[in-house]
A and B are shown apart, each in its own frame.
Chain A
Amino acid sequence: MFPGTANTGLAQNTSYKVVLPFYLYAGISFLVATLLLIFSTPAFLQHYFHPHTLAITHVMALGWGTMMILGASHQLVPVLIEGKLYSNVLAYLSFVFAAVGIPLLVTGFYKFDFGWAAQSGAILVNAAILFYLINIGVSMAKSKHENVHAVFVFTATLWLIITTIVGLFLIYNFTYNILSKDSLSYLPLHAHLGIIGWFLLLVIGVGSRLIPLFLISKYNNNKLLWWIFALINFALISFIILFLYIKITVLYFAPLLAIAAAIIMFAYYSYRAFYERIRRKVDYQVKISLLSVFMMLLPLFFLLIIILWLLISTSNYSVILTYGFCIFFGWITAIIFGMTFKTLPFIVWNKVYHDKAGLGKTPNPKDLFSDKIFVGMGIFYLTGFVLFAIGILVSNLIILKIASMLLLVTAILYNGNVWKAITHKPKKL
C-alpha cells in the first residue's frame, strides 16, 4: 500500500470557455477606446466632464480593465483559494450582462443621452457584477483555504459593486434628480471608489501573488499585505466621510498619505520578490508588470498637485485629465499588458496540451505569442502614453493626435498577439 494518494493543494482550473470571452472583449474594448481617442482628441483640451471623455473612461474602466480582471480572476481565484470556481453559469451570465450593458452605457455617455439605453446599460452592468460577487463569494465560502490575497479580491469586488451602484444612481440622477446635487458633484466619489476600491485593491491582492509566482520567488510577507489592505480601506472610508460630510480640502491629505504608503509598501514587496527571485532572467511581460507598479506613483503625484491646487485655487482640468489618463492608460493598461501575456498563453496551453503533457516535447506557453510583437507594442505604448500625457498638459492637439495614433497601433498589436495565442494549433509531438 502506498502512503496517502490524495493530492493536496491542487487548484482546479476554470474552463477556458469561461475565461477567453472576457479576454477577447477586453482587447476589443481597448481598440475601441484608442479609436475613440483619435476622434475625440479635442475633448482632452476641455473640462473632464465631457461626453467623449466620459465615454472613453468607461470603455477603459469597464470594457478594458474590469472585463480583463473579471476574466483573469475567474481563472485565478481558484488558484488563490485552492479550490474551484462555484459556477460557470454565473460566469457566463456575468460576461453576457456586462458585454451588453457596457456598450449601451458608453453610447449614452458619448451622446450625453441618459435615457433608456444608458439606464438599462447601468442596470445590466450592476447585474453582471452581482453575479460575479456571488460566484466569487460562494467559491471562497466553499473553500477552506482563505488567505490574504482572496480577502483582497473579495473586498475589491464589494467596492466594485458599491461603485457601480453609485454609478447607477448618478445615471438616474441625470433624468430624475434623485440625489441632492447634480451628478458631476459626485463624480470624484464614484471615480475613487472604482479606482482605489476596485482596481488598486484587486491589482495589489492578485499582483502580490502573481509577481512572486512568475519570478519563482519565495518572498512572502502577509503582515505587510495586511497593512496595505488596512491602509487602502482606511483611505477609502476616510475619503467617503470627508467627501460627503466634512468638506475641508486640507484633510484630503490623510487618505492621500495612506494610499501613498500602501503603494510604496507594495512597491517594496515587489522589489523584495524581484530581489529574492530564483529565475534570474526576467521576461518582458513581468518587466512591464513591474513597471506598472512604479506607474502607480505617477497618478499619485498628479493627485498631490490637484489637492495643492485646490488649496490655492479652483481645480485644474488638464491636471485632472492627466491624472485620469495616467490611471487608465498608464498603470492599469501596463499591468494588463504584462499579465495578459503571462496568463492567456497558460490558459490556451492548458487547453491544447493538457492531455499531451509528458508524452513528448511540447512548446512552452511563451511560444504561443510573438515576443517581437510584444516588444514593438511596448515601445509604441510607452511613446504614445508619454506623448498623450504631455499633450494634455500643454493642451496641444497635434501631439494628442500623434499620440492617439501610436496608442491605436499599440491596441492593434496587442489584439493581434492575443489572437495569435488564442488560435494556436497543437504541434505534433
Chain B
Amino acid sequence: MNEITNDEAKLELALGALKFVDDPEIGLNVVDLGLIYQIDFDENNKKLFCSHSLTTQFCPMGETINSGITNALEQTFPDYEVETKITFQPPWNSSKISEEGREFLNM
C-alpha cells in the first residue's frame, strides 16, 4: 500500500507554487480561485497528484492552466513525478473563491 501523505509543509509549498499559476482570463491565481481540489504525495513511488477544476467546462485555456499547474509543481518538487487531473466533480462555483480572490474580483 502506498503511503499517501499530506504534510502541512509540503502542502504549503505546493500551494505557494500554484499561486504563480493564473487563470489568464481572470488574472487570478488557481489557488485563490478555488480550482485546486486535491494534492497528494505518494512517498513510496515519489509521485505527486493534483486534481483541479476549471471555472467552466468550456474553458479555452484549460490546457494551458493544466500545463501551468504541472510546470509549477515539477519545478518545486523535482524529485516527484507529477500527475494532474481535471475534474468537474463537483463543478466549480464562486463559493470556492478565497477572501483574497473575492477582494481581487470586487465581489
Query: Which A residues lie at the B interface, using CB under 8 A?
Result: 1-13, 75-76, 79-80, 82, 209, 212-214, 216, 218, 278-281, 346, 349-350, 353-362, 364-366
Task: Please give me the residue from chain B that is nearest to A354 by CB atom.
Answer: B64
Residues on A with C-beta less than 8 A from B6 are none
B58 touches A11 (CB 8 A): yes
A12 touches B63 (CB 8 A): yes
B83 partner, pick from A5, A8, A75, A212, beta carbons under 8 A: A5
Given A281-B106, A358-B71, A359-B75, A8 contacting B88 (CB threshold 8 A)? yes
B40 touches A76 (CB 8 A): no
Give min CB distance, B107 to chain A, whole Å: 7
Indicate with 1 or 0, residue by residue over B38-79, a CB within 8 angstroms of chain A CB atoms: 001010000101010011111111111111111111010000
B60 touches A11 (CB 8 A): yes
B93 touches A218 (CB 8 A): yes
Give min CB distance, B81 to chain A, whole Å: 10
Given A80-B58, A218-B93, A354-B64, A8 contacting B86 (CB threshold 8 A)? yes
Bound state CA distance, A75 and B63, in angstroms? Answer: 13
* B11 at the A interface (CB under 8 A): no
Task: Please give me the residue from chain A that is nearest to B83 by CB atom.
Answer: A5
Give min CB distance, B98 to chain A, whole Å: 13
A358 touches B67 (CB 8 A): yes
Task: Please give me the residue from chain B that is nearest to A366 by CB atom.
Answer: B27
Give min CB distance, A344 to chain B, whole Å: 12
Give min CB distance, B24 to chain A, whole Å: 5
Bound state CA distance, A364 and B55, in angstroms? Answer: 17
Given A346-B24, A359-B71, A359-B75, A9 contacting B88 (CB threshold 8 A)? yes
Using C-beta atoms within 8 Å of the partner chain, give the interface range for chain B.
Answer: 35 or more
Residues on A with C-beta less than 8 A from B13 are none
Bound state CA distance, A359 and B73, in angstroms? Answer: 9
Residues on B with C-beta less than 8 A from A9 are 54, 57, 62, 86, 88
B86 touches A354 (CB 8 A): no
Give min CB distance, A414 to chain B, whole Å: 22
B26 touches A279 (CB 8 A): yes
Residues on A with C-beta less than 8 A from B58 are 11, 79-80, 82, 209, 213
Residues on B with C-beta less than 8 A from A349 are 24
Bound state CA distance, A196 and B55, in angstroms? Answer: 32
Residues on B with C-beta less than 8 A from A80 are 58
A218 partner, pick from B47, B87, B94, beta carbons under 8 A: B94
The 7 A-B residue pairs with the shortest CB-CB distance in the complex, in nearest-first order: A357-B68, A358-B68, A358-B72, A358-B71, A2-B49, A280-B106, A7-B86
| 25 CB-based A-B contacts, threshold 8 Å | A2-B49, A3-B85, A5-B49, A7-B66, A7-B86, A9-B54, A9-B62, A9-B88, A10-B62, A10-B63, A13-B60, A75-B60, A213-B60, A278-B105, A278-B107, A279-B26, A280-B107, A346-B61, A350-B64, A355-B71, A357-B65, A359-B75, A360-B20, A364-B24, A366-B27
Residues on B with C-beta less than 8 A from A365 are 24-25
Query: Using a Cβ cutoff of 8 Å, how many contacts connect chains A and B?
Result: 116
* B36 at the A interface (CB under 8 A): no
Residues on B with C-beta less than 8 A from A79 are 58-60
A358 touches B70 (CB 8 A): yes
A357 partner, pick from B71, B88, B93, beta carbons under 8 A: B71
Given A79-B60, A346-B61, A359-B71, A10 contacting B105 (CB threshold 8 A)? no
Given A218-B93, A358-B70, A346 contacting B27 (CB threshold 8 A)? no
Give min CB distance, A230 to chain B, whole Å: 23
Beyond A346-B60, A350-B64, 14 additional pairs, beta carbon < 8 A: A2-B83, A5-B85, A7-B85, A8-B87, A9-B54, A10-B86, A11-B62, A13-B63, A213-B58, A280-B106, A281-B106, A349-B24, A362-B24, A365-B24
Task: Please give me the residue from chain A that is nearest to B57 by CB atom.
Answer: A9
Interface centre among A82, A212, A216, A364 (most CB of B within 10 A): A216
Bound state CA distance, A214 and B58, in angstroms? Answer: 11
Bound state CA distance, A158 and B70, in angstroms? Answer: 41
Bound state CA distance, A279 and B28, in angstroms? Answer: 11
* B35 at the A interface (CB under 8 A): no
Give min CB distance, B74 to chain A, whole Å: 9
Residues on B with C-beta less than 8 A from A10 are 62-63, 66, 86
Bound state CA distance, A1 and B26, in angstroms? Answer: 34
A359 partner, pick from B49, B62, B63, B72, beta carbons under 8 A: B72
Give min CB distance, B99 to chain A, whole Å: 15
A355 touches B67 (CB 8 A): yes
Give min CB distance, B23 to chain A, whole Å: 9
Given A5-B83, A7-B85, A8-B87, A362 contacting B62 (CB threshold 8 A)? no
Residues on B with C-beta less than 8 A from A212 are 56
Bound state CA distance, A356 and B70, in angstroms? Answer: 11
Given A8-B88, A76-B60, A358-B67, A280 contacting B27 (CB threshold 8 A)? no
